[in-house]
Amino acid sequence: MSSYIIEGGTPLKGNIRVNGNKNAALPCIAASLLSSEPLILQNIPNIEDVNIMLHIVEQLGGVVEHRPAQRERELVVRSLRSYKVPEEQAQQIRASFLFAGPLLARGGRAYMPPPGGDVIGRRRLDTHLLALKVLGTEISIGNGYDLRAPQGLQGATIFLDETSVTATENCLMAAVTARGRTIIENAASEPHVQDLCLLLNAMGGRISGIGTNLLIIEGVPRLHGARFEIGSDYMEVGSFIGMAAATHSDITIEDIQPRTLNMIEINYQKLGIQWECSGRALRVLPTTLAVQPDLGGAIPSIADAPWPGFPPDLTSIVLVVATQARGIILIYERLFESRMFFVDKLISMGAQIILCDPHRVVVSGPTQLTATTLTSPDVRAGMALVIAALCARGCSVINNIFQIERGYENLAERLAQLGARIERSQ
């Protein structure tokens, strides 16, 4: 099993380019099933999650052409060969369930094995299934989910019982060619949901309300091919900002979208992180980190929330950065009850952290972390451990890096170019 070997304690310097948004690429890949014409996706990251989704497309009947020089993939699904998502791939990735909506829209049936992915707590599928049911789907649950729409899908008004990103995306892809109008209330509005909406419109869909929690879809008979560029990954941006701040490095991050960083900036400023933007480049300013008290001197907190709130995927990152900041802060992860359980690994490195309950930790810093052997539990916690290892005194080994590389392309090579002492062992 591959590992990262990281010698910590070296400030980094240089420029790093952000890749395409993983969470936008995955639903856009699933949307290729909605048309028999070619779909060209640009700025696609070359990561494990993307490769798994592309493999599923091929097994369902699609043809995928990789053009690495242009950082694009061409997907053509002339006809569906199967309505069953393969179990082996489904067990590897949560996003495999995004094929439910396109399969129902294209062929009237989908068989979905239980999806895998990060182990960060219960991740219910009820919102997906209830929304698809309103659109006319018959649901049978056994070892998997057998979904059928024998009369086709019919537009309807849907109120999602939670602001779920992937349920919103599944509903969009099911509704775009359904008969009549669909209204999705309490819809997710993250940048990756917006990217999917823009792609579907580029394919001939009629979606309005993009960027809001009320989406209106006027069903169209069919979609055509398109060329579409995936937006930059603001989770990578947030990760690299955190890495630069925690290691007191001077790093410029290129190809950002400033509009996606407003709430990240507000919360990172609570730790004393500063940066300056020039166009689509962001330079993190080396500084001594210090927790900024709330008005009246109260201990501040950083809590995640649906867009435009602080992204849940960055709570692991900001937690590690807090170990290097002077002062005390509360980190509150509201959505998943197991995401914080990686803090025992940071405590073993010397971090002063109190796990209050499955959702809240109190961090007191700064502390000098000490190198150790670690295992990555999921994508974002794995990246957080990389940052911790870069801060630590000595040589750390991080195992199970498959989990990290599901979300970060060529991470070891890119960090080495910044001066990080990191090796990837096979």
Per DSSP, 230 falls in state P
Q: What does each C-alpha distance from 121 to 68, 218, 232, 333 come to in angstroms?
A: 35, 36, 27, 12
- Among residues 118, 195, 313, 378, the one annotated as catalytic is 118
Contact indicator for 353, 346 with CB cutoff of 8 Å: yes
Contact indicator for 184, 168 with CB cutoff of 8 Å: yes
- Is residue 28 classed exposed, middle or buried when 0-12, 13-18 and 19+ CB atoms within 10 A define those classes? buried
Q: Of 35, 38, 34, 74, nearest to 54 (Cα)? A: 74
Strand partners, 301: 330
**Nearest-5° Cα angle at 226, 222 to 229:** 135
Strand partners, 370: 393
Contact indicator for 97, 166 with CB cutoff of 8 Å: yes
Is position 118 annotated as part of the catalytic site? Answer: yes
Return the amino acid letter for 259: R
Q: Of 29, 69, 56, 50, nearest to 228 (Cα)? A: 29
Active site residues: 118
